[in-house]
Amino acid sequence: METLSLPINSLTNPSAKHIFSLSAASNYASLSSLQLNPSLTTTLLTLRKSVLRVQAESEDYELKQMRDMAAARKRWEALIRDGKVKVLTPKEAGYAVQLSNKPLLDVRPSNEHKKAWVRASTWIPIFDVDNKVDFGTIPTKVTNFVMGGWWSGMPTLSYDSQFLAKVEEKFPKDSELIVACQKGLRSLAACELLYNAGYKNLFWVQGGFEAAEEEDLIVEGPVPLKFAGIGGVSEFLGFTDQQRAAAAKEGWGYRLVFSARLIGVFLVADALYIGAQQIGRYLQDIKTH
């Protein structure tokens, strides 16, 4: 299932944190053993306390997000188990939309919707790309990028507080509403909000659009619907599950494109490394002369 950006980022690297802690402690011990003046010692102590405080706050935040996510999953499972939200496969959703004109609510963020969408669907994202750049959002954006955004291409998302109001403008509360997203997680969150707001005829597309076959839904957009949720370095190199499945169907021609890209990345990295060495030698020669 996809990661909810409440922002919920549950990717962690305990070993990296442990190494960082050990490194910080050893570096501080080494500095403390030197003959330092009092003001510098005070500065180092303050800096160390700040680093430890930020690390503790980050760990507490991640634990809180994990607990919140676990609690949310239990609520969503109860909605399905109690029959408050009905389950449809992508194929069943396609039949309902095409043959019965049931409304399909697409709650994906804009970065996914602009790549591919279902014809006649209504797009109202529950979470959308956070384009704000200020002191409050920069740390979140950096964390998202470092914790996997560079690989998956998933930007920082934020909850749209107007989501319910926008849905209520489009659909009365007695509507038989089919709710879908890319992988099925955000649409469950949307179903919970909608049910609590008075929508009682809700249908959830299990597995999301990523589980749909080409013939299940009438799709528009520049890429196949299955590919709308991929991005970043993993997409560029063809390392996603969707691309591997496509390669198995289409054969070596498809694979060669991404193999060439991978070779290109290695060649560029090698060229940069050699160039850096040459520049280093050149600077060293200037320094010695």
> Mean pLDDT across the stretch 79-98?
95
Give the residues across from 227 on adjacent strands: none
φ, ψ at 67 (rounded to 5°) = -65, -45
Q: Prior bond to 125 cis, omega within 30?
A: no
Q: Put the strands of the sheet holding 202-205 in their side by side order.
A: 85-88, 202-205, 177-180, 104-106, 122-123
Helices marked H in 114-178 — which ranges?
138-144, 150-152, 163-170
Which alpha helices (DSSP H) does the chain contain, by range? 14-32, 38-81, 90-100, 110-113, 138-144, 150-152, 163-170, 185-196, 232-237, 241-250, 252-288
Q: Which two tokens stand for residue 197?
A: 């707001």
Residues 217 and 94: beta-carbon distance below 8 Å: yes
pLDDT of residue 171: 97
Task: Give yes or no for residue 90 having a pLDDT over 70.
Answer: yes
In a 3-state reduction of DSSP, which class is residue 110? helix
Residue 119 has pLDDT above 80, yes or no: yes
Task: Tell me the pLDDT tens digit for each residue of 247-265.
Answer: 777 777 767 776 777 787 7
CA distance to 32, 103, 106, 122, 166, per residue, from 169 (Å): 64, 14, 15, 12, 5
Torsion of CA 147, 150, 152, 158, to 10 degrees: 70
Please determine, for residue 229, whether its predicted confidence score (pLDDT) is greater than 60. Answer: yes
Mean pLDDT, all residues of the chain: 80
Distances (CA, A) of 102 to 87, 96, 203, 268: 14, 6, 10, 51
pLDDT number for residue 59: 59
**Catalytic center residues:** 181
Q: Is the dihedral of CA 22, 24, 30, 32 positive or negative?
A: negative
Please list the residues that pair with 204 across neighbouring strands: 87, 179
Q: What is the pLDDT of residues 30-68, one digit of tens each?
A: 334 334 455 555 655 665 655 555 555 555 656 776 887
Q: Are 149 and 129 in contact (CB under 8 A)?
A: no
